[in-house]
Amino acid sequence: MAEQLYNAIFVGSIYALFAVGFALVFSVLDILNLAHPVVFMLGAFVALFFMSTFGLPAALAAVAAFAVTGMFGIFLDRVAFAPLRRRGAPPLSAMISSLGFAIVVIRLMELRYGPDLVSYPAGSLPQTVLQIGDARLDGLRLLIIGLAIVLMVGLTYVVRATQLGRDIRALAENPRAARLLGVDVDRAIAATFFISSGLGGVAGALLGFAYNAIYPQMGTPYELKAFTVMVVGGMGSLPGAVLGAYILGIGEIAALVFLPAELAELRDALAFGLLFLVLVIRPRGLLGHRVADRA
Amino acid sequence: MDALADFLRVYQTTVGVIGINALLALSVWLTLYAGQLTLGNAAFMAIGAYGSALLGMRMGVPFPLGLTLGALLAAALALPLGLAVFRLRGVYLAIATIGFGEVLRVVLLTVPFTGKALGLNGIPAITELWHIYLSLAVVAYVLWRVQGSTVGRAWAAIREDEIAAASQGIAIRRYKLAAFVAGAAIAAWAGGLSAHLNFSIEPGDFGFTRAVQILVFAVVGGTPSVAGPIVGATLLTALPEVLRPLKEYRDIFAGLILMGVIIYLPRGLVTLAELRKTRRLQEIGVADVA
């Protein structure tokens, strides 16, 4: 039971790291970034690259993954979103543009690494097992949970208490007014994408470390999960995304534990059923404060 | 005439899939035209496909009746669903309909009656090309006529400004529901045709990827007119065939083309002809032509 709860918190932490980046871009720019799963996947592969080519330890490789995918996020914005923004195109266009971008990057990675599972170099990941009572807990996952929480606290600090965070929030409120008030809007947008993609990339690297199996399409299942997480927590609310992520993580593991084996497949339906119910009953989610009918 | 017959023989499947994709694109165009961004049409397609195939294989229901029942079933499900999500707009509606689609997909994966992950195999291939293109012609003609009618203008008004439309006395709920339910029925009809064009169907055929693909057909083709979704579905379905010489770089070009169209032809491929006129108007200073 303790092991199941531990896994639930681990899964929730990965969902949360994935979803806060996704939610950040949505809350600031109203874009559903369908290339976010690609950034997640790239994080895992960037870590692999630094570990196998330069022999970097896993911890430093995760930092490298943050930096590289963060920069990649800025590139993504320049290529897929900036031209549309200049024209004032509807959010739907941005969604489709990021989809095209995602297809290109996934295919390029498949050409380079093949579509199959890739592992990290042998012996590069710490392997400790914590024995607490009867429960055997993977030590690496504890580190990952801790790191995820530190990153989310850091994100909250940046958004709430720094000048950059104030700029980003002003941009989210009204880009035009923010510009008139002297906010460097382009810099705030670049920072938004850097943070969002960096967090997505770290999430991918950490998930890769935990399972030691990465592949070019690994981000895709998390995309739909992230929708659920954002909707349950409240679209565009960062604390909501974190809360939603842990609810989903715990709910999924609970379904796995309590549902009979032949109905185990249904646990995914549970997640999406939850999503649907929240949207119908309380469209603004648990912690959302905006009205839901914004187009 | 012989050349055409040869072409059809070689590319029969592709030509059939193009027609079905065009029907699907029209089904989502209908809801987009009424201002609803829905990603649920893959699910309605699944209902039509599974419904008609199961009716035919297990109960011996004749094909046309099976297709009709599949479409009616989808419409009957779309009605309460449409009522439930009626208040949602934009991405909220899109995500809610994704949720519906995913629940349906997982149920199809779990229930033995629908063949679980293997889906249904050995569906008789009785869909003829003329079935598909006759359906497409009828649907396109009806939608074209509806677009110019009072109903079409009401949909456009709702899309542009729902509150203003309501204040003009347009029954928002009724019109939005009508578009949603009709779109579901068209998607289910296309699903039934496609199930009997291929040998087999499985839950994975009707997931998130398919839902987005249908939307992309309509948006890339262009939503101002009925021609847009048909053009979009035709070109994007034929594209992999056309790009075949590029082998493993095919998807990369497909992705780049998708980005190029959405960035440089914002109103879709069908507006390509108007592009020079638009440029000229911009040059002489007529703002906001698009």
The domain ranges of chain B are 2-207
Q: How far apart are CA A168 and CA A149, in angstroms?
A: 22
Residue B229: partners with Cβ closer than 8 Å, 6 or more residues away? B22, B25, B26, B28, B29, B217, B218, B221, B222, B223
CB contact under 8 A, A268 and B259: no
Q: How far apart are CA B28 and CA B214, in angstroms?
A: 7
Q: How far apart are CA B23 and CA B133, in angstroms?
A: 9
Residues of chain B with pLDDT under 70: 1, 273-290
Beta bridge partners of A131: A136
**Confidence (pLDDT) at A270:** 76
Tally of helices (H runs) and strands (E runs) in chain B? 13, 0
A243 or B269, higher pLDDT: A243
What residues of chain B lie within 8 A of the CB of A227, using their CB?
A: 95, 98-99
A288 or A148, higher pLDDT: A148
In the 8-state DSSP scheme, what is residue B244?
A: G
Closest by CA to B187, choosing from B250, B272, B125, B97, is B97
pLDDT tens track for B72-95:
999 999 999 998 887 887 778 888
Interface of A with B (CB under 8 A): 32, 34, 79-80, 83-84, 87, 89, 91-93, 95-97, 99-104, 107-108, 111, 223-224, 227-228, 231, 235, 263, 265-266, 268-269, 272-273, 275-276, 279-280, 283, 292-295
**Confidence (pLDDT) at B103:** 87
**Confidence (pLDDT) at A206:** 93
Q: Are B70 and B192 in contact (CB under 8 A)?
A: yes
CB contact under 8 A, A263 and B110: yes
Q: Are A246 and A177 in contact (CB under 8 A)?
A: no
Q: Are B43 and B100 in contact (CB under 8 A)?
A: yes
CB contact under 8 A, A93 and B251: no
Q: How far apart are CA B142 and CA B134, in angstroms?
A: 12
Phi, psi of A184 (to 5 degrees): -75, 90
Give Cα B112 distance to the centre of its chain.
28
Residue B155 tokens, joined: 């949909």
**Confidence (pLDDT) at B276:** 63
**Coil, helix or strand at residue A87:** helix
The shortest CB-CB distance from B110 to any of A99, A265, A279 is to A265
Q: How far apart are CA B281 and CA B83, in angstroms?
A: 43
Interface of B with A (CB under 8 A): 37, 84-85, 87-92, 94-96, 98-100, 102-103, 106-107, 109-110, 208, 212, 215-216, 219-220, 248-249, 251-252, 254-259, 262-263, 266
Question: In which band, very low, low, confident or very high, does the pLDDT at A140 lie, cut at 50, 70 and 90?
Answer: confident
CA distance A241 to chain B (A): 15
The shortest CB-CB distance from B98 to any of A96, A227, A292 is to A227
Q: How far apart are CA A155 and CA B149, in angstroms?
A: 52
In the 8-state DSSP scheme, what is residue A162?
A: S
Q: How far apart are CA B28 and CA B19, in angstroms?
A: 15
The shortest CB-CB distance from B259 to any of A80, A231, A292 is to A80
pLDDT tens track for A72-121:
999 999 999 999 988 877 788 888 899 899 999 999 999 988 888 888 88
Q: Are B120 and B53 in contact (CB under 8 A)?
A: yes
CA distance A23 to chain B (A): 13
**Confidence (pLDDT) at B127:** 83
Max CA-CA distance within chain A? Answer: 61
Question: Taking 50 as the threshold, does the pLDDT of residue A293 lie above it?
Answer: no
The shortest CB-CB distance from B88 to any of A93, A100, A292 is to A292
The amino acid occupying position A274 is L
Q: Are A270 and A218 in contact (CB under 8 A)?
A: no
Q: What does the pLDDT average to over A189-211? A: 94
Instruction: Say what the pTM is.
Output: 0.84
Question: Taking 80 as the threshold, does the pLDDT of residue A137 lie above it?
Answer: no
Closest by CA to A9, choosing from A162, A141, A197, is A141
CB contact under 8 A, B103 and A80: no
Q: Are A198 and A71 in contact (CB under 8 A)?
A: no
Q: Which of A79, A272, A275, A278 to mutate to test the interface with B (most CBs of B within 10 A)?
A: A272
A7 or A38, higher pLDDT: A38
- Residues in chain A, overall count: 295
The shortest CB-CB distance from B91 to any of A84, A91, A96 is to A91
Percent of chain A with pLDDT over 70: 96
Least confident of A67-71, A132-136, B60-64, B97-101: A132-136
Question: Taking 80 as the threshold, does the pLDDT of residue A151 lie above it?
Answer: yes
**Confidence (pLDDT) at A295:** 34
CA distance A158 to chain B (A): 27
CA distance B214 to chain A (A): 12
Give Cα B138 distance to the centre of its chain.
15
Question: Taking 80 as the threshold, does the pLDDT of residue A289 lie above it?
Answer: no
**Confidence (pLDDT) at A6:** 87
Q: How far apart are CA A53 and CA A120, in angstroms?
A: 11
The shortest CB-CB distance from A295 to any of B90, B95, B96 is to B90
Tally of helices (H runs) and strands (E runs) in chain A? 12, 2
**What are the structural domain ranges in chain A?**
2-219
CA distance A186 to chain B (A): 19
CB contact under 8 A, A272 and B103: yes
**Confidence (pLDDT) at A233:** 83
Question: In which band, very low, low, confident or very high, does the pLDDT at A224 lie, cut at 50, 70 and 90?
Answer: confident
Task: Name the residue of chain B whose CA is nearest to A103's CA.
Answer: B255
Q: Which of A32, A76, A84, A103 to mutate to test the interface with B (most CBs of B within 10 A)?
A: A103
What average pLDDT does chain B have? 86
Q: Are A284 and A292 in contact (CB under 8 A)?
A: yes
For chain A, strand residue ranges (E) read 129-132, 135-138
Q: Are B254 and B65 in contact (CB under 8 A)?
A: no
The shortest CB-CB distance from A111 to any of B219, B248, B263 is to B248
Interface A-B: count of C-beta contacts within 8 A: 126
Interface predicted TM-score of the whole assembly (ipTM), two decimals: 0.82
Question: In which band, very low, low, confident or very high, does the pLDDT at A192 lie, cut at 50, 70 and 90?
Answer: very high
Question: Taking 50 as the threshold, does the pLDDT of residue A126 lie above it?
Answer: yes
Residue A73 tokens, joined: 């996020």
The shortest CB-CB distance from B85 to any of A95, A102, A280 is to A280
Q: What does the pLDDT average to over A21-42? A: 92
- Residues in chain B, overall count: 290
CB contact under 8 A, A100 and B258: yes
CA distance A104 to chain B (A): 5
Closest by CA to B36, choosing from B199, B198, B215, B203, is B215
Phi, psi of B50 (to 5 degrees): -65, -45
A221 or A67, higher pLDDT: A67
Q: Are A115 and A210 in contact (CB under 8 A)?
A: no
> B168: phi > 0 → left, psi -120 to 50 → alpha, else beta; which?
alpha
